[in-house]
Amino acid sequence: MKSTRTFITCFGLCSMLLLAFSNIFNRQPSDLDPPPKVTTTTDSKDPENPRDKLQEGLLATEFDESSCLSRYQSSMYRKPSPYKPSQYLISKLRTYERLHKHCGPDTEAYKRSKEQLDQHVTLSGSSGELCQYIVWVPLSGLGNRILSLVSVFLYALLTERVILVDQRNDIRDLFCEPFPATSWLLPLDFPLTDQFDSFNWRTPISYGNMLKRHVINSSTETFPSYLYLHLVHNYGDYDQMFFCQGDQSLIKKVPWLIVKSDNYFIPSLWLIPSFQPELSKLFPQKDTVFHHLARYLIHPTNQVWGLVSRFYDAYLSRADETLGIQVRVFHRAGFHQLVMDQIVSCTQRENLLPEAAASQEEDSQQVTNISRIQKLKAVLVTSLNPEYSNSLKRLYWEGLSFTGDIVGVYQPSQEMYQQRNKKLHNQKALAEMYLLSLTDNIVTSAWSTFGYVAQGLGGMKPWILYKVENYKAPDQPCVRATSMEPCFHSPPFNGCEADTGTDAWKTVPYVRPCEDRISGLKLFDHPEEL
C-alpha cells in the first residue's frame, strides 16, 4: 500500500511538472501583460563575440544612446552580419550627414530654399548654392512605407538631395531620428503640406502630367519650383518616365520633389545608366542594398524597442535555435487549413522544425529512440490570425517530436485585421518585423512586404511560402530565396533607353524577376549561379 501511495504521489508530481513545463514553453504572451524584462549583464548576447554597436562603421557615433536605445543595442540581440558595408558607402553616409546638417529644417539654407516655393518657377541652372530636397509622403501599410522610405533615401544619396519625411502620421512614434545633430522631419508649416493628401496621378504638377501636357521637356528654360512624383503601383506611362536617363536630367533641375510610393523601386534605379557606377561602388555585393540602408536608417523608438527586447528576453533568448514564421494570406482573411498544411510541410521538409508523432503509439516508441541532447527550438509566429500559431503549438504539445527536441511556439500580437493608421497597431507591427529579423532562420509569405523588411534587416535568405491560388495548395510548399533583397512588385515597362521591364536581366544580369512574383524585379549578387 505504501509503495502504491508513493507511486501515485510521484505520478502526480511528475504530471504537475510536465504541465508546468508545457505552460512555460507554450504560454501565449498577451499584449496586455508583457513579459518581464530579463536584465542583460554582458555587453553581448554571445560573450565570445563582443558586439560591434557601430555595425562596421555604418552608424554614426554622435548620438546620445539613451535617446534611441535600439540604434546601438540591436547588436546585442542580432548575430554579427556576414555582409560588410563598403568603405565607400560609409564615407557617403558621413558626407550625407554633413549635408543634412547644413540643409535640414530650421537652417538658413532650408529657409532660402523654401522661399523658392513662392516663386513657382526657377530658371534652368540658376539654383546656385541652394539645397535640393525630396519629401517622402507615407502611403499604404507599414511594410510598404519602410520599403519606399529606404528607396527614396537611396535616391537622395545618388542625387545629393536632402530627404525630409512627412510627420503628420505616426513617424515620430515609430522611428528615431537617423541623422545626428539635425532632424529629418518636415516642419508642419511647410507651404505644401495641406496639398499632400490630394496628390495623385491626375495632379497637374505631377511629373507625368507635365510631360503629357508638354509643359516640360529637354528644351525647357524655366522649371517649376517643385514636382510631384507619383511612383505608386498604379502609375501611368508618363509617371514611369521617372526611371529613364533623359528624364533624370530634367528632374535634376527642380529644387523640390514630393514623392509618394508604395514600392521598393531600387532595382530600377540600377537600370539608369548614370546611376550604375555609383551604385556599384556603394554596394559591391548587389543584394545587400536594403540590408545596409535599413540598418542605418530604421531604428525603432524606445517604446517600440521595449516591446522587442522584453519579448525576446522572455521567450527567445534561452532557445538553442529560433525560427521566424511570417504568415500573410491575401486571397481571404482568416485561417485556412491548406495554408497551415503548407507551413508544416515546408518547415519539416526543409528541416527547420522536426516532425511530430501522429499517435500515442508513435510517441511512446519515440521516447526510447532519443539518444542525443534535446534542443529547445523557439518559433516566433507573426500573423493577424492566432490560429496558425495555435495549430502549430497543438502539434508539438500533443505529439513528441521525432528528434526529441522541445518546440515552443509564441505569437506577440493577434490584431485580426490590418489597421494602417492606428499608432499602437503600427508599433506592434514594427516590433514584430524586428523580432523576426532576430531569428536564426525565417519563413515568409510570398508578396509580403512585412516579410521583406524582416529578412532584409536580418540579412537572411528566407524560405518563401508559395502564394495560394484559387484556394488550391501549390505543388510545392516553399522555395529558398537566392537573394535577401525585397521585390519591386510594380516595375515600369516604358521602353526608355534602358529596358526596365522583367527582361532587364539581359543587359543588367543582377536585376532579375523575383522568386515569388515573376512580374517583379529583384537584385541578385551572383547571376551566374541562378
In three-state secondary structure terms, 260 is: strand
Which of 487, 502, 524 terminates a domain? The answer is 487
What's the pLDDT band for 323 if we cut at 50, 70, 90? very high
Residues 182 and 311 in one domain: no
Residues 254 and 207 in one domain: yes
Residues 97 and 214 in one domain: yes
pLDDT digits (tens, 9 = 90+) for 56-87: 899 999 899 999 999 999 999 998 999 999 99
Whether residue 170 lies inside any domain: the answer is yes
Whether residue 503 lies inside any domain: the answer is no
pLDDT > 60? residue 20 = no
| pLDDT, mean of residues 25-30 | 42
Q: Taking Cα atoms as reference points, which of 472, 82, 440, 107 lies closest to residue 287? A: 82
For residue 86 the three cell numbers come to 563598403
Whether residue 182 lies inside any domain: the answer is yes
Concatenating the DSSP letter of every residue in 355-423 gives -B-SSHHHHHHHHTT--S---EEEEEEE-SSTHHHHHHHHHHHHS-BTT--EEEEE-S---SS--TT-H
What's the pLDDT band for 144 if we cut at 50, 70, 90? very high
pLDDT > 50? residue 298 = yes
pLDDT digits (tens, 9 = 90+) for 154-180: 999 999 999 999 999 889 999 999 999
Residues 310 and 457 in one domain: yes
pLDDT > 90? residue 313 = yes
| pLDDT, mean of residues 235-261 | 93
Give me the pLDDT at residue 11, please. Answer: 38
Question: How far is 364 from 371, CA to CA, in rounded Å?
Answer: 14
- CB count in 10 Å sphere of residue 31: 12
Whether residue 129 lies inside any domain: the answer is yes
Give me the pLDDT at residue 9, please. Answer: 39
pLDDT > 90? residue 110 = yes
Q: CATH no. for residue 419?
A: 3.40.50.11350
| pLDDT, mean of residues 28-41 | 37
Residues with Cβ within 8 Å of 11's Cβ and at least 6 positions away in sequence, in order, are: none
Whether residue 212 lies inside any domain: the answer is yes
Residues 401 and 450 in one domain: yes
pLDDT > 80? residue 29 = no
Whether residue 515 lies inside any domain: the answer is no
Residues 190 and 334 in one domain: no
Whether residue 189 lies inside any domain: the answer is yes
Q: Taking Cα atoms as reference points, which of 292, 347, 325 lies closest to residue 436? A: 325
Number of separate domains in the chain: 2
Give me the pLDDT at residue 121, please. Answer: 67
What's the pLDDT band for 127 if we cut at 50, 70, 90? low
Dihedral sign of CA atoms 64, 67, 71, 74 in order: positive
Residues 272 and 329 in one domain: no
Which of 226, 252, 282 terminates a domain? The answer is 282
pLDDT > 80? residue 495 = no
pLDDT > 90? residue 432 = yes
Residues 270 and 327 in one domain: no
Across the chain, what does the average pLDDT equal? 85
Residues 105 and 200 in one domain: yes
Give me the pLDDT at residue 391, please. Answer: 95
Give me the pLDDT at residue 205, please. Answer: 94
Q: Taking Cα atoms as reference points, which of 392, 269, 300, 408 lies closest to residue 337? A: 392
Give me the pLDDT at residue 508, please. Answer: 85
pLDDT digits (tens, 9 = 90+) for 445-467: 999 999 999 999 999 999 999 98
Strands 511-513 and 406-410: unpaired
Q: Taking Cα atoms as reference points, which of 119, 111, 136 lies closest to residue 196? A: 136
Give me the pLDDT at residue 128, please. Answer: 55
Residues 278 and 311 in one domain: no
Residues 107 and 156 in one domain: yes
Ranges 128-132, 230-234, 369-373, most confident: 230-234
Residues 144 and 264 in one domain: yes
**Residue 381 structural domain:** 302-487
Question: How far is 304 from 173, CA to CA, in rounded Å?
Answer: 8
Whether residue 201 lies inside any domain: the answer is yes
Give me the pLDDT at residue 47, please. Answer: 52
What's the pLDDT band for 413 if we cut at 50, 70, 90? confident
In contact, 294 and 150? CB cutoff 8 Å: yes
